[in-house]
Amino acid sequence: MCGIVGYTGVQGASPILLEGLKKLEYRGYDSAGIALVNDGTISIAKVTGRIANLCEKTNDGKDYPGTTGIGHTRWATHGAPSDTNAHPHMSNDGRFAIVHNGIIENYMSLHDELTAKGYHFESETDTEVIVHLLEMYYKGDIRKAVIKTSARLQGSYALGVICADDPDKLYVAREASPLILGVGVGENFFASDVTALVSYTRNAIYLEDGEFAEISPEEIKVFDVALQPVNKKISRIVWDIQAAEKGGYEHFMLKEIMEQPRAFKATIAPRIKEGEIVLDETDLSKEYLESVNKIVITACGSAYYAGCAAKYTIEKLCRVPVITELASELRYADPLIDEHTLLIVLSQSGETADTIAAMKECKSRGAKTIAIVNVVGSTIAKLADHALYTWAGPEIAVATTKGYTTQLAVLYLFSLYTAKKIGSISDEEFNRLLTALKALPKKIQETIDTNSKIHQLAIKYYDNKSMFFIGRNTDYAIALEGALKMKEISYIHAESYAAGELKHGTIALIEEHRPVVALCYNEKIMEKTLSNIVEVKARGADVLALTYKGNHQIVSVANDVIYVPKVDTLFSAAVEIIPLQMLAYYVAKLNECDIDKPKNLAKSVTVE
Ligand code: AGP
């Protein structure tokens, strides 16, 4: 996720672009840049780091004159954060500059094609192919060049273009990435979201996928792919700036919960090509994978719980033992690790101190390391032999949501990829599961859409000092994460327990009306978990069960039931966790907690 902004009018564009970028900084903040057209030439300023650095470099924009320009704040996906990889990118002839938010999935083949035609690449980004395509297709008509270029792109993009030949105009295109046009008087704008616009105008045009616009200070013309004009309605922006940053949601956590279908899709889609899983970022050959006799997964907090859930998927599909170990424990455990161990490290931030230490320890013992990380260029990503990024975009709320589900996404890809390589599943089973994996973003969306009653359940259960979360196997791993979500944002004591283990001690704590969230998704062990529900109910517990749609067995034993779509049990964590995140969110809200910044916690734990 990145932020883009554009301005054309009579005022100096740079200060407006810089202000807009400050508002969009929450979308990405590893590097930033602006490009201005002035006197028939394009000048570009870009820096690594925050917008403040860009303000310093440009003397708050004063050193970059011009009344038309574009800006970008980056959340790195392809290529580490650096001045060179920062946007805007310029064509070889210096005629075009562009900013882009999204991911170009076919950039490698376009890169090869353009290189063969003599175009020179400066950066490691997927974006740069776009600007060279524009140069290639430009024969004096910018609209046509933009349309021809867009037709070559697979993936997602919100694109802002300036051209030295047409100094007062901005060109924009959109496919599966947000883009809003701001309508002013004698000046017009575009931006990734309304936060960057509301200080200047409250009149907006929402561009749809497949639409293009030519923006001059006086007017905005919108076209379809056939270059036919499209009549667009001007809408009124009613949000204030704070609400706009959160996409209209009250908290970043809720916004991030809602982003999960898109984040999951962004993580898996580019890695599934022609019915195969492609993990270009690794060199996991058949020979190497066959030599692995143990997979160790290490991480902290939710990242560790994602590993716990995926352990079942990897073991079932690959038939290789998977050991999950908390990083803070592993680092001091004198672990039995050698060159036949594949270490998988999970971290949203890529900066967690314990995870880094555990990783170093295992590396020194000869393990090959794969890091599943959200922040490009972070310490863990750099330390690992290979980094597989979760393309979730910046996660602002301290409680992770999309970070966790996208970690599952990569682990599911890894399981299927490995199983296929070492031949532990048949082609038929691989195809069936790949289809199921591709369907997960839709199932996650369906889970979000059909769980409006979670708020009602939160009203029923929020006033409690303690709760239990129980389940077996994957359901137990999800219970761990569900309980952590509840604890960290609502401050309610929430204990997760393997359902079968209750009778060995914990059941002594079950009393009249104690809420027990029971995860009962796995059909094979359904009867067993149902017995545990009956046991806690007999001691007075109020049971809130979570199961798949169509399982009516549960109605007679639970007080309340949350239904989620039926997916393969190997992937069920990705849907089961959604209502638990929502439950924690609404319980915390009803308890008036500081949801995005819970007490005593930090987003990135860089100390031991
Ligand atoms: C989860 O909601 C937490 N805030 C926390 O457990 C987190 O997952 C843990 O600190 C690990 O962080 P990382 O993924 O950035 O390494």
DSSP assignment of 284-342 equals: --HHHHHH--EEEEEESHHHHHHHHHHHHHHHHHH---EEEEEHHHHTTS-----TTEE
Strand 68-74 versus strand 220-223 pairing type: unpaired
Whether 243 shows a pLDDT value over 70: the answer reads: no
Say yes or no: 46 and 155 in one domain: yes
Say yes or no: 505 and 420 in one domain: no
Q: What is the pLDDT of residue 608?
A: 62
Ligand 1 interacting residues, C-beta cut-off 6 A: 300-303, 347-349, 352, 355, 398-400, 488, 604-605
From 373, 407, 438, give the residue that closes a domain.
438
Arithmetic mean of pLDDT, 111-128 = 97
What is the percent of the chain where pLDDT is above 90?
Answer: 82
- As a whole number of angstroms, the distance between CA 281 and CA 145 comes to 32
Q: pLDDT of 341-369, one tens digit each?
A: 999 999 998 989 899 999 999 999 999 99
566 in a structural domain: yes
Arithmetic mean of pLDDT, 233-249 = 78
Nearest CA to ligand 1 atom 9: 301
Say yes or no: 231 and 246 in one domain: no
Q: pLDDT of 11-69, one tens digit each?
A: 999 999 999 999 888 777 789 999 999 999 999 999 998 899 999 999 999 999 999 99
The CATH number covering residue 188 comes to 3.60.20.10
Q: Can you tell me which residue has the tokens 């389940």?
A: 471
606 in a structural domain: no
Ligand 1 binding pocket mutation candidate from 256, 302, 581 (most atoms within 8 A of CB): 302
Say yes or no: 201 and 254 in one domain: no
Q: What is the pLDDT of residue 394?
A: 80
From ligand 1's centre to the CA of 421, what distance in Å?
31
607 in a structural domain: no
Say yes or no: 39 and 78 in one domain: yes
Please provide the average confidence, as pLDDT, over all residues in the chain: 94
Range of the domain at 415: 241-438
Say yes or no: 338 and 461 in one domain: no
Catalytic annotation, residues: 2, 603
Q: pLDDT of 499-551, one tens digit each?
A: 999 889 888 899 899 999 999 999 999 999 999 999 999 999 999 999 999 99
The CATH number covering residue 431 comes to 3.40.50.10490
Domain total for the chain?
Answer: 3
Ligand 1 binding pocket mutation candidate from 252, 352, 400 (most atoms within 8 A of CB): 400
From ligand 1's centre to the CA of 243, what distance in Å?
25
CA distances from 342 to 157, 377, 390 (A): 35, 21, 19
Say yes or no: 315 and 462 in one domain: no
Q: What is the pLDDT of residue 607?
A: 67
- As a whole number of angstroms, the distance between CA 223 and CA 230 comes to 5
Say yes or no: 288 and 324 in one domain: yes
143 in a structural domain: yes
Q: What is the pLDDT of residue 152?
A: 97
For 229-243, the three-class secondary structure string (H helix, E strand, C coil) is ECCCCCEECCCCHHH
From 438, 456, 487, give the residue that closes a domain.
438
Q: What is the pLDDT of residue 176?
A: 81
From ligand 1's centre to the CA of 301, what distance in Å?
5
Nearest CA to ligand 1 atom 10: 301
From ligand 1's centre to the CA of 13, what distance in Å?
40
Say yes or no: 231 and 249 in one domain: no
What is the percent of the chain where pLDDT is above 70?
Answer: 98
603 in a structural domain: no
From ligand 1's centre to the CA of 381, what distance in Å?
16
- As a whole number of angstroms, the distance between CA 557 and CA 529 comes to 11
Ligand 1 binding pocket mutation candidate from 349, 490, 599 (most atoms within 8 A of CB): 349
605 in a structural domain: no
Q: pLDDT of 120-155, one tens digit each?
A: 999 999 999 999 999 999 999 999 999 999 999 999
From 389, 409, 438, give the residue that closes a domain.
438
Say yes or no: 378 and 401 in one domain: yes
Phi, psi of 585 (to 5 degrees): -60, -50
Say yes or no: 363 and 391 in one domain: yes
Say yes or no: 203 and 249 in one domain: no
491 in a structural domain: yes
Q: What is the pLDDT of residue 244?
A: 66
**Whole-structure pTM value:** 0.78
